[in-house]
Amino acid sequence: MAKLNDIQAIAFDLDGTLVDSVPGLALAAQKMLADLKLATVTNEQVKNMVGNGIDVMLERVFKAVDTNPTKEYFAEAKQIFSQHYDKVMDEQTTLFPHVAQTLKTLYENHYPLALVTNKPAQFLPALLTSLGIKDYFSLVLGGGDVIKLKPHPAPLYQVMATFGLFSDQLLFVGDSKNDITAAKNAHCPTVALSYGYNYGISIATSEPDFLFDDFEEILTLLPQPKADAKK
């Protein structure tokens, strides 16, 4: 496999790429719906709603239960959801296989690492700390930290500006069409993970530069780290 010899830094999506967040998101949504005395949604439904930020996910939740909330009702529901998610997020969010060791390998080989997620920034510090990966990231960008969310390329432009990179020097790793579209629009090389969340559609249809089934395969693209990460 060809090496990406010009890569100077790597940016990652969070949900569906580094972590399996569906159980926590679904549980918080189910608790919110119960509080509002509405019908519920399944974990599988929520899996296909993730990727465009909390507001869009909740809009999809309400559509699934045939509810058209007013602006005020939606704001109240979002607050209820956030309260529940804050309580269940840590125990219901887990790293995918090989993520921790692969991030450690990249960090030890002096690759600056960035996190670029549409998840609200308020949830990120505690979550990354509980997962044990916070210290690997030089830059963390969540919803509210950038002017536009993915699939807009703005978050990746911000990463490049912060790290002082050209587009071909930043590798972006994600699991959804929003990730691949954002990276393509920013002219960055892309890695897609097949195991993530992509609205029930194969991520191969987004035509990433590389498509892997296992997170640690990222190491095979880079000249310095060795592809020997273990569980």
- Which residues are designated catalytic? 13
CB 133 within 8 A of CB 14: no
Helix (H) or strand (E) holding 171: strand 170-174
Residue pair 143/118 in contact (Cβ under 8 Å)? The answer is yes
Angle formed by the axes of helices 22-35 and 54-64, nearest 10°: 60
Cα angle 28, 182, 135 (rounded to 5 degrees) comes to 60
- Among candidates 175, 211, 186, 210, which has minimal Cα distance to 50? 175
Taking a C-beta distance cutoff of 8 angstroms, is the pair 210, 191 a contact?
Answer: yes
- Annotated binding residues for Mg(2+): 13, 15, 175
* E strand or H helix at 113: strand 113-120
- How many angstroms separate the CA atoms of 10 and 194, rounded? 18
For residue 162, count other CB atoms closer than 10 A to its CB: 14
d(C-alpha 221, C-alpha 217), whole Å: 8
Which of 4, 8, 14, 7 is CA-nearest to residue 155? 14
The binding site consists of 13, 15, 175
